């Protein structure tokens, strides 16, 4: 079975929770949600999933426990949650913006607002999912810091950005100055494509691997159990 680009993105998101143990996964968006549930069904069986309100749930959405708000906050502020958020802008050090485009006093575009991004990024690991990789998103400097990057996180005990996944590849911050690095390319994507779509100079290794291929069992779970309607293809083209 040949995997589509969207299925490589699901795998790349799922890998963010590999061997995570009993950690609360908080994926935001369709593909991260499919990825988290796939991780729970395969290589991270102790992963905790939530309905976003008051319950712990199984990958099929059926309840398996109660998660009162006080306990949820304890997980959030104690480094025991790994959230995967979106980003309207993200820069070389992992600063994320979901609030506004332009000067915050007179923005050109008003977006979601800061919301929980500072708490997320300073208190538990935070990864990002960007379905359309472009220079409008991957910018030299974000217009407003909502999610905190490595250059603003001094003293934050649980701050960590494990990965950024886009429709072109996977990125991390495994560099001496904690700037963004190209970790893998999705099949069919070139290094030059990534460079052209990024508004800052990425760290690029001499040898860039491809994002790992889904196993037949993982593809079966994605296509027949987790997303049989194929909604993932609407978020990322084939």
- This prediction has a pTM of 0.94
Nearest alpha-carbon partner for 25 in 155, 120, 148, 166: 120
Strands in 34-172 per DSSP E = 48-50, 55-57, 63-66, 81-85, 89-90, 96-97, 100-101, 109-110, 126-130, 164-166, 169-172
Cα 226 vs. chain centroid, distance in angstroms? 18
CB 101 within 8 A of CB 143: yes
Distance in angstroms (rounded) separating the CA atoms of residues 61 and 14: 17
pLDDT digits (tens, 9 = 90+) for 33-91: 999 999 999 999 999 998 877 889 999 999 998 888 788 778 878 888 999 999 999 99
pLDDT digits (tens, 9 = 90+) for 126-177: 999 999 999 999 999 999 999 999 999 988 889 999 999 999 999 999 999 9
């Amino acid at each position: 079975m040949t995997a589509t680009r969207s299925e490589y993105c699901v795998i790349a998101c799922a890998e963010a929770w590999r061997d995570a143990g009993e950690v609360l996964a908080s994926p935001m968006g369709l593909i991260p949600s499919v990825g988290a549930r796939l991780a729970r069904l395969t290589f991270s069986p102790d992963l905790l999933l939530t309905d976003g309100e008051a319950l712990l749930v199984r990958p099929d959405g059926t309840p398996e426990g109660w998660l009162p708000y006080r306990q949820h906050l304890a997980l959030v502020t104690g480094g025991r949650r790994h959230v995967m958020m979106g980003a309207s802008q993200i820069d070389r050090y992992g600063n994320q913006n979901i609030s506004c485009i332009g000067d915050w006093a007179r923005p050109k575009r008003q977006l979601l607002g800061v919301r929980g991004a500072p708490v997320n990024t300073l208190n538990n690991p935070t990864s990002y999912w960007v379905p359309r990789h472009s220079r409008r998103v991957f910018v030299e400097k974000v217009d407003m810091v909502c999610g905190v990057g490595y250059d603003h996180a001094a003293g934050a005990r649980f701050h960590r950005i494990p990965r950024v996944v886009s429709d072109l590849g996977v990125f991390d911050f495994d560099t001496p100055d904690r700037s963004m690095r190209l970790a893998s390319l999705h099949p069919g994507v070139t290094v030059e494509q990534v460079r052209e779509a990024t508004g800052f100079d990425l760290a690029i290794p001499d040898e860039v691997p491809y994002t790992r291929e889904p196993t037949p069992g993982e593809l079966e779970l994605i296509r027949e159990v987790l997303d049989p309607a194929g909604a993932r293809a609407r978020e990322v083209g084939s």
